[in-house]
C-alpha cells in the first residue's frame, strides 16, 4: 500500500491566525455577551479576551476550552476559522 504523503508543518511564527480571534469575537457577539460578560463566565481577564479577539495574543488550548465552555459551543467551532491551515 502506498504511504500517505505528509505535508510539512508550517512555521508557527509566520502563520496568520487572526481568523481565530475574529471567530471568537463573532461567537461572543452572537451569544449576546460583552467582553466583561465572557470574562465573568470564563475567569479570563477582559483585556486578555480583547487581545485574543484582536490577534495580539494567541490563546492556549486551556484558554480555548474555557472560552468554548463560556460561550457554550464546541471547541471545534472556535478553531473552525483555522481549517484552511490543514
pLDDT tens digit string along 22-72?
Answer: 999 999 999 999 999 999 999 999 999 999 999 999 999 999 999 999 999
Let me know if residue 1 belongs to a domain: no
- Domain at 45, CATH number: 1.10.260.40
> 16 or 58, which is more confident?
58
Range of the domain at 53: 18-81
6 assigned to some structural domain = no
* Residue 56, in any domain of the structure: yes
Could you give the CA distance from residue 83 to residue 69 in angstroms, rounded to a whole number? 21
Residue 12 within a domain: no
Give mean pLDDT, residues 1-24.
73
Query: Which residues lie closer than 8 Å to 80 by C-beta, 6 or more apart?
Result: 23
CA-CA distance, 73 to 21, in Å (whole number)? 15
Q: Is residue 59 situated within a structural domain?
A: yes
- Structural domain count, the chain: 1
pLDDT score of 43: 98
Mean pLDDT, residues 63-82 taken together: 91
Amino acid at each position: 500500500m502506498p504511504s500517505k504523503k505528509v505535508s510539512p508543518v508550517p512555521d508557527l511564527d509566520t502563520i496568520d491566525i487572526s481568523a481565530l480571534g475574529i471567530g471568537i469575537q463573532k461567537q461572543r457577539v452572537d451569544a449576546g455577551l460583552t467582553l466583561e460578560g465572557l470574562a465573568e463566565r470564563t475567569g479570563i481577564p477582559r483585556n486578555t479576551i480583547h487581545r485574543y479577539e484582536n490577534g495580539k495574543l494567541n490563546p492556549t488550548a486551556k484558554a480555548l476550552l474555557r472560552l468554548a465552555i463560556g460561550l457554550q459551543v464546541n471547541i471545534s467551532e472556535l478553531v473552525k476559522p483555522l481549517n484552511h491551515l490543514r
